[in-house]
Amino acid sequence: MTEGHSGDSGGLLAGFDAGQTHTSCRLATDDGQILAEGEGPGVSHLAAEGGAGRFQAALRLSLANARSRLGAPWQQEPLIAAAIGASGIEQGSAVQGMGLVLAASALGLNESHLQVTGDERTALRGAFPEGAGIVVISGTGTIAVGRDGRARDQGGREHRCAGWGWLLDGAGSAMDIGRDGLSLSLQMADGRLGEGPLRQALWQALDLDLDPDAPQAAQAIKALVVRADFGPAGFARLAPVVEAMAGTGDPEAQAILRRNGAALAASVAGVARALELDAPAVAALGGAITHLEGLHQAFQVALNQQLPGAWLQAPVGDACSGALAMAKELVGRTPGND
């Protein structure tokens, strides 16, 4: 992705997409020429234990990796503005203000040269640079957000649905798919449900130090899921197992995908109602809905039922491109760069 120096530069712009699994940083010139991209670790909610440190580390490491891929003429160029879309940043919240302070310290930028927002907002900007549209994101977590297409200074609105944290509102996510499957497997183990292949597949995937059919296996699972290193990502890793079992015709796994697909469609429909969009373009993003074909199909069926006028559209750009567009606007507002 690195390109040669094409002339004098006012410095570098950075667009960050900070998710729960990993963080991407894309660097560009102030006139939009893409130069390099790097990755770093994921983030957690800033209010969670260690959340502030993880956020700053994700920004620093992804930026350093992107810089390492720059061509020699660009190595010494300063960073002049950045926009960050991060998981768990609520628009207009105290957490957003906290993120701005942390990002300024991590990147060595003045707060006026920074924008910190939710990753769903940068994804929306990237997917629909102009006009109305709705993005629904299904990865480890899930959220939907859209805008009505009018400029903000003309009363344009944005609205979000879902995404209120994995403990409260993860329906439609890889985490919920994995957790729902594991919950059913324990009901099979204790006799509330009949035994099925879904239990065996999930318990084998957990790689327990026990025979999955041993009496102690259920107790081991109970202890496993409360460990600090399991969390949402631990449940999400089980989603492909549920998907694979659904593909074999397993009725329990298929029901899980239908339920989560319907939850995603309900989030999109909620955004459409709030913004009075009868036939919105919808972009479906995120690792779960991209890679789990059964979930994607369930979402399409449910969307046709809940919001018949909606239509799926490939995103114009990704969250990093949306973040870069926001960063470029910051440069435009900076004194001396008008």
How do the domains of the chain map onto residue ranges? 12-129+316-333, 174-312
Give residue 187's pLDDT: 96
Strand duo 79-86 + 12-18: pairing = parallel
The model's confidence at residue 10, banded by pLDDT at 50, 70 and 90, is confident
What pLDDT is recorded for position 335?
Answer: 46
pTM of the model: 0.86
Task: Give yes or no for residue 118 having a pLDDT over 80.
Answer: yes
Output the pLDDT for position 337.
43
SS3 percent helix, strand, coil of the chain, rounded to 5, is: 45, 15, 35
Give pLDDT, residue 153: 65
- By the 8 A CB rule, do 79 and 49 touch? no
User: For 264-297, b where at least 16 C-beta lie within 10 A, e where not — what string?
Assistant: bbbbbbbbbeebebeebbbbbbbbbbeebebbbe
Rounded distance, CA 195 to CA 184, Å?
10
Find the helix or strand (DSSP H, E) in which 303 lies.
helix 293-306
Q: Looking at domain 174-312, does it have CATH number 3.90.1150.10?
A: no
Which tokens go with 319? Answer: 């969250």
Phi and psi (nearest 5°) for 135? Answer: -110, 140
Sheet-wide strand order for 79-86: 34-41, 22-29, 12-18, 79-86, 114-118
95 falls in which pLDDT band (50, 70, 90)? very high
- With a pLDDT cut of 90, the percent of the chain lying above it is 77
How many residues are listed for the chain in this entry? 338
Please choose, from the candidates 136, 83, 239, the residue with its C-alpha nearest in 3D space to the C-alpha of residue 247: 239
Q: Are 19 and 87 in contact (CB under 8 A)?
A: yes
Q: Which residue has the tokens 């969009």?
A: 277
> Which fold does the domain 12-129+316-333 belong to in CATH?
Nucleotidyltransferase; domain 5 (3.30.420)
Contact 146, 135 (CB under 8 A): yes
- Do 12-129+316-333 and 174-312 share a fold? yes
Beta-carbon contacts of 37 under 8 Å, excluding residues fewer than 6 positions away, are 1, 24, 25, 26, 27, 66, 69, 320
Beta bridge partners of 55: none
pLDDT classification of 284: cutoffs 50, 70, 90: very high
